[in-house]
Amino acid sequence: MNIETRLAQSGSRRDPSTGAVTVPVYNSATYRHPALGQSTGYDYSRSKNPTRQALEDAVADAENGARGLAFSSGLAAIDNVLRLLKPDDKIVVTEDLYGGTYRLFQQVYAVYGIKAQYVDTSDIASVKGALNDNAVKMIFVENPTNPMLKVADIKAISAAASAKGVLTVVDNTFLSPCLQNPLDLGADIVLHSATKYLGGHNDVVAGVLAVKDAELGEKLAFYQNAVGSVLGPNDAWLVLRGMKTLHLRVKQQEKNALEIAKFLEHHPLVIKVNYPGLKNHCGYNILKEQAKGFGAMVSFEVADAALVPLVLERVGVFLFAESLGGVESLITFPAVQTHADIEPEVRERLGVTDRLLRISVGVENAEDLINDLAQALQGGTDG
C-alpha cells in the first residue's frame, strides 16, 4: 500500500479483544506473568511497551525498515546510534548541522575518544576523501542541512560508505518519510526528531530510529533498553496520532514554503534564500531524483543584521520560537538559538550569520504568511 494509507492507519488493528481503531495508551510499568518462565511478550516498560511498540512498528513501516525504535528525544536517538562506536573511532559528520547534535559530538562523545570530522556532505568528493581514513566507522548526514538547507546525494554517499564498511546514518527530520526514504537509497539507519514533523503539533518531545538490518536493530534495541532513554506511552501515542496526518500536513507546508521562498527571493531586503525547492538551488536536481519533495524549511539572509530584531518583534502570524515541523509557522534566529553552541567563527564560515533567519512553514494560509513577512520587513525599512 502507498504511504498515505499506511500512515493514516498507523496503530490500527492492534487490539483484537476490543476492536479499538486507535492503539490504547498502556500506562503500565510492569506486566503480570502467566506462569513461571512464561511471558506475554511484555515484562517491563523500559524494555517494551505496547503503545511504544505500535509507534516503533509504524516508524519502521514508514521508512521501509526492519525495525523501529522510539526515544525520549531526537538527541537521545542520536546518542543511541553513537553507542555503536568505540574509543578511537572516527565519524564523518555534516558540517552545517543542528547545534544540539554538534554539542553531543564535541562536548560529550569527544571525551570518550570518538572524533568527529566535519565535511560538506553536499560535496561527494569531500565525503569520499574523508572515508579514506580507516578509523572512520560511521558517516552522519543531515539532509537537507540545518539551517543552510544543503542537499546530499544519499545514494552516492551510502554506496561509498558501504564500500569502506562504514555505516551511513541519515537525519531525515527535515523531509520526513513522506518525502524521502534514506534506507531505500542505501543508508543503514535513519533518524528523526519526532518532535518535529512526525508529531507535527508542537506538543511532544520524541526521537525515533528506523534500521535497515534486523541484526543492527537488535544491537540498537539492546542499548535502548540498557540505557533507558525510552519514550513514554502517552508521548508515543501523541507521535502516532501525528503520523496519521503527516502526509496531509507536509503537502500543505511544502506548497506554502515554495510560495514564501519565491516571495523572499524577490524582496529588496533579502540577499539570499535557501530552499531546495527553488530551481536555482544546487540541490534541486538531487532531491528531484531521490525524494518526493523539498520540505517546508526555509532560511534567508537579510541585508543588515539590524533588521533581525525588528523582524522578530514585528511578526504577528509567525511565532518567534525554536523547533520546527508543526502546524504553526515558526521563525528562529539560529545564531543565538538552535546553533548557539557552535563556535562563532565556525558559524560565520558556514553561513549561520547574525543576518540569517530560519522559518518553519506551517499549514496556515500562504497569503497570510507572506503578508506577515512583508509587513515585518517593511517595518525594518521604516526603522
Q: 259 with 265: CB under 8 angstroms?
A: no
Q: Tell which residue, 318, 289, 200, has the closest CA to residue 276.
A: 289
Residue 213: what are its φ and ψ, rounded to 5°? -105, 130
Classify burial at 143, counting beta carbons within 10 Å of its beta carbon; exposed 0-12, middle 13-18, buried 19 or more: buried
The cell numbers describing 281, all together, are 538551488
Q: 228 with 46: CB under 8 angstroms?
A: yes
Q: Tell which residue, 262, 250, 272, 240, has the closest CA to residue 324.
A: 250
- Positions marked active-site: 46, 98, 171, 196
Number of H helices, E strands in the chain: 13, 12
CA distances from 86 to 1, 76, 163 (A): 40, 18, 21
Report which residue type is found at 217: G
**Using CA atoms, how far apart are residues 290 and 184, in angstroms rounded to an integer?**
9
Q: 68 with 59: CB under 8 angstroms?
A: yes
Classify burial at 89, counting beta carbons within 10 Å of its beta carbon; exposed 0-12, middle 13-18, buried 19 or more: middle
**Using CA atoms, how far apart are residues 204 and 322, in angstroms rounded to an integer?**
14
Q: Which residue has the cell 496526518?
A: 245
Report which residue type is found at 165: G
DSSP state letters, 92-147:
EEESS--HHHHHIIIIIGGGGTPEEEEE-TT-HHHHHHHHTSTTEEEEEEESS-TT
Q: 376 with 310: CB under 8 angstroms?
A: yes
Q: Which residues pair with 41 in a beta bridge?
A: none
